[in-house]
A and B are shown apart, each in its own frame.
Chain A
Amino acid sequence: MAKAGDKSSSSGKKSLKRKAAAEELQEAAGAGDVATESGVQPPKAAAFPPGFSISEIKNKERRHLMFTRWKQQQRKEKLAAKKKLKKEREALGDKAPPKPVPKTIDNQRVYDETTVDPNDEEVAYDEATDEFASYFNKQTSPKILITTSDRPHGRTVRLCEQLSTVIPNSHVYYRRGLALKKIIPQCIARDFTDLIVINEDRKTPNGLILSHLPGPTAHFMSSVRLRKEIKRRGKDPTEHIPEIILNNFTTRLGHSIGRMFASLFPHNPQFIGRQVATFHNQRDYIFFRFHRYIFRSEKKVGIQELGPRFTLKLRSLQKGTFDSKYGEYEWVHKPREMDTSRRKFHL
């Protein structure tokens, strides 16, 4: 039927091919060098003159055929090699050498010199006396103001509301065209410790400025998914204070940013409520997730994702409050200088 027809046609093509190859060979062998081989049906690769590559065939169909045949042969060889290796492993049993670990970009990460050594006293001293020290010593508890850029649209407003349920002790205010530099002294006067501004562009939130009020200000690019868009989510988060998980902030810069995030949430090791907010840093992108967990047994945990989900990428860290023109930057992301290597990350 159709199959057989195809087969015959393809085999017909192949035999045609072989004949064509033979013809070519005979033409090439016109010089007389390979006269002995011309009589036998030659296997494709060995008989061609050296230095010949498939891409030199001018006829597109024939070239394609030759290429597919070559590919199939490569695949067969690879499979055979794999099978052989597997058999050898089984034969050796316990004495087999360990499996080689595949290379990933995270594996190949260029070692960053600013990676913090946990025993480094200078860094420890610095962290003990920087602007977040009072928070970590439990002298101040956070109070956060969340606002947006001017004239926010629906998504941004809903993100602000959801963020305020995630972060305890936070208040959302509309921006109404006020200048940030005027808002900041007022916040300080009213005892706010942090300010979050969500920047909006074409009706979607795309940036986040996190300003610890007397101290550093960080500016992030972001992408967002709102609560109702998350599949299989749990019910809304309650008023309990969430735990925080900060993953993979290894460098000195990462440490600063990690501390900034940690200072948003009240510092209380006695967790009530089973909610957890995670800031996971991978390859300089910070993933924020909010879950509720329940321990079904000693080792098994069930989690439900609640809450908005967003990704942040740090653009700049500024010493002092938000002042983009005259402020001093502690770290600025410079794409042409910093993004030259795919394996180098800064956070």
Chain B
Amino acid sequence: MAAAAARWNHVWVGTETGILKGVNLQRKQAANFTAGGQPRREEAVSALCWGTGGETQILVGCADRTVKHFSTEDGIFQGQRHCPGGEGTFRGLAQADGTLITCVDSGILRVWHDKDKDTSSDPLLELRVGPGVCRMRQDPAHPHVVATGGKENALKIWDLQGSEEPVFRAKNVRNDWLDLRVPIWDQDIQFLPGSQKLVTCTGYHQVRVYDPASPQRRPVLETTYGEYPLTAMTLTPGGNSVIVGNTHGQLAEIDLRQGRLLGCLKGLAGSVRGLQCHPSKPLLASCGLDRVLRIHRIQNPRGLEHKDEPQEPQEPNKVPLEDTETDELWASLEAAAKRKLSDLEQTQGALQTRRRKKKRPGSTSP
């Protein structure tokens, strides 16, 4: 029962109180999962990523420096390990070939053996990336390649099987028109599929594309959006554009071929903390400090598809949308979106009571 409940969740969201929420968009319900049974602020989720075995396991990085394994099949937290070293919260979490890669705020990047119950053990590899890291991202095509960037910490690409020096170190752009140094603050990084390029979005409202294959270390393309720091970014299924969100809750789609703004998405009232596009369908899930998970349709027509109120302090970090087995689910979801307002009555604060009525044990685990 719990397995069935956990498996049908389309979007996984981590929150500031340490609860992992699985949202089932078809039934428009959210299920809470906690490791300890009680939400705790020390366990605030700061990073999420899929584990091995293709979307059956989620690795949850918490503020108290533990990484928990959560199984979507069984709906319970299977184990955890403590990853000490460095200061600050996790900024990036990844898994590669049976190893776990973590990066913390103070710049310590460590690779650990990924045995489930292994709570001790020294890291296999440790790198110092530089202080003030805001994001570490793994290249989906090459699992041993990671990129890091942060505040006053330029973009660097590291090959974990190679040397201790970064493979690519980005150079800052030229001084601006007042001949002042342009500050660096990389908030989010994404690898573009099909090539070696990377996109970053910065806290100074710039979006930049870097190409390590080209001889220039400066960004190949740079555009700006808005006046507020961009906090989250995701690639669209087409691969030619990205969607960025800023601290005011404005979401914009930016085309990377020309650097143009394609359009904006509205609805969010708070700072955007997590964005994730569906791998094939033009749907975007967004969540932010205003405690609401929203699903948007990116084109034809652009609009809000679904809104979910978890009634929780959300500093959610997101995880890729599951590509659930059947397309029928998604098709029915899109059909459901036509009658937009009816969604809202179902996702009330009485989610909990609804759950109890339906006897769905997707609630807090033992």
Contact = CB atoms under 8 A, between A and B. Distances in A.
B271 A117 contact: no
B292 to A, nearest CB: 8
Nearest to B348: A113
Contacts of A122: 17, 19, 32, 39, 310-312, 352
A125 interface: yes
A18 B285 CA distance: 70
Interface in B341-366: 344-345, 347-350, 352
Interface string A242-286: 000000000010000000000000000000000000000000000
A94 interface: no
B170 interface: no
A30 interface: no
Interface in B249-272: 249, 266-267, 269-271
B311 A332 contact: no
Given A117-B350, A325-B228, A329-B248, A126 B313 contact: yes
Q: Could you tell me the dominant secondary structure of chain A's interface residues?
A: mixed
Nearest to A327: B247
B41 interface: yes
B271 A319 contact: yes
Contact of A126 (B227, B292, B312): B312
Contacts of A338: 269
Counting chain B CB atoms within 10 Å of each CB, the highest count among A120, A122, A125, A126 belongs to: A122
A113 B343 CA distance: 11
Interface size classification for chain A: 20 to 34
Contact of A329 (B203, B270, B310, B345): B270
A236 to B, nearest CB: 41
A111 B349 CA distance: 11
A129 interface: yes
Given A332-B248, A337-B266, A116 B349 contact: yes
Given A126-B312, A129-B41, A328-B231, A117 B289 contact: no
Interface of A: 111, 113-117, 120-123, 125-126, 129-130, 252, 319, 325-334, 337-338
25 contacts: A111-B348, A113-B344, A113-B348, A114-B349, A115-B348, A116-B311, A117-B349, A120-B349, A120-B352, A122-B19, A123-B349, A126-B312, A129-B17, A252-B291, A326-B203, A326-B247, A328-B271, A329-B270, A330-B270, A331-B269, A331-B289, A332-B249, A333-B269, A334-B266, A334-B269
10 interchain residue pairs of minimum CB distance: A328-B271, A113-B309, A330-B289, A117-B349, A126-B313, A122-B312, A328-B247, A330-B270, A331-B269, A129-B41
